[in-house]
Structure 1
Amino acid sequence: MSEAMKPSPVKLIIGAIFPGEGILIEAKVGLEKKFGPLDFQSPLTPFNHTEYYEKEMGPDLKRQFLSFQRLISPRKLAEIKLYTNRLEKRLSRVRNSPSRTINLDPGYISAAKLVLATCKDYAHRIYLGKGVFAEVTLHFQQGTFRPRPWTFPDYRSKGYIQSFNAVREIYLRQLR
């Protein structure tokens, strides 16, 4: 018989999609106030894998991934997703925008996987509570993160996977 055990702490990551660096700077202030200092920022890259966000935020979107020094409990993921949703709305109000001005997608990295939070349900997602679901987007195997059948195209890209591998290394050093 297996016994329930407490999970190891995990590394909080947040993926941001945004039209300009000004809104990203504002978002980072709110995120660091809530979750503490950053310890990794991926290079800014064009977000051109889908046009899904262009209706809300316009063309020429950028993407950046952030990770935070302080480790979290994986059970906090739903609460963190709700916070990032509130922060998105607050930043839109500050800019008097009727639509989103930034998209913030929280998740976490453990030694074995990258998990993302979402408010959209699909067959491969698990309900966490409070209207939030989670999915294993990437799994770590043979020295690198690898996609699942449902992994979004951008998360399959070499650049993103390099960033996630780098964050995983930071995380593993923290656990030592």
Structure 2
Amino acid sequence: MSEPRKPSPAKLMMGILFRDFDLQRRVLKRLCEEFGPMDFLTEPEPFSYTHYYDREMGAGIYRQTVSFLQLAPLESLPDIKFFTNALEKENSLDGRRQINLDPGLLSEERLILATGKNYTHRIHLRDGIYADLTLIYQGGAYQSLPWTYPDYQNPELRHFLGILRMKLAFQRNGRLPRKYITKGENP
């Protein structure tokens, strides 16, 4: 029989799609007010993986990934998604989102994104929010799955997530991964 244990907290991160840099700055400020200081932010890059969002948001969309210093309990993912949904609505124009926020929790084993859409590989958490298993950690890196969104398949983003994984391990136990300890140091 397995005994239930409280899971370790994870690194809160999210993908951000936007066109307006002033709005992006305001939303990042609100996210920091809610979740604490950022500890990672990628440079904005043109979002060219799909045109799915163009109809709602317009052309010329940029993408960034952000993570936050404070670790988050796994059970908080639905509440985080409700907050980001409200922030998207608050910044909508004529019912169209001007910013898209995709929160997720990065653990040493996987990346789970929150979504309101059901599908075969998604597990209902509560109140209409599902956990989307987006990446798994295997063979020394985060690996894509058949349903992984194209932007999360990007090798550069998966590399950054690997760095965040090392930071997460350090935050949890105060130790660097073995491969980063030089000879003679006390692990």
Matched with 2:127 is: 130
Calculate percent identity across the aligned residue pairs.
41
Q: TM-score normalised to the size of structure 2?
A: 0.90
Matched with 2:154 is: 157
1:130-172 deviation digits (Å, cap 9, x = unpaired) = 1100121001111110011111111111121122112112111
Runs of 4+ aligned residues of structure 1 deviating over 2 Å after TM superposition are none
Matched with 1:71 is: 71
Matched with 1:6 is: 6
Matched with 1:104 is: 101
2:81 aligned partner, one-letter code: K
Greater Cα radius of gyration, structure 1 or 2: 2
Runs of 5+ consecutive residues of structure 1 not aligned to the other structure: none
Matched with 1:58 is: 58
Q: How many residues align?
A: 173
1:92-142 deviation digits (Å, cap 9, x = unpaired) = 2xxx54310000000010011111000000011000101100121001111
> How far apart in 2 are the matches of 1:69 and 1:46?
26
Q: TM-score normalised to the size of structure 1?
A: 0.95
> How far apart in 2 are the matches of 1:32 and 1:97?
26
> How far apart in 2 are the matches of 1:13 and 1:62?
17
Question: How large is the RMSD of aligned CA atoms in angstroms?
Answer: 1.0
Deviation, 1:43, is 2.0
> How far apart in 1 are the matches of 2:24 and 2:89?
14
Matched with 2:184 is: none
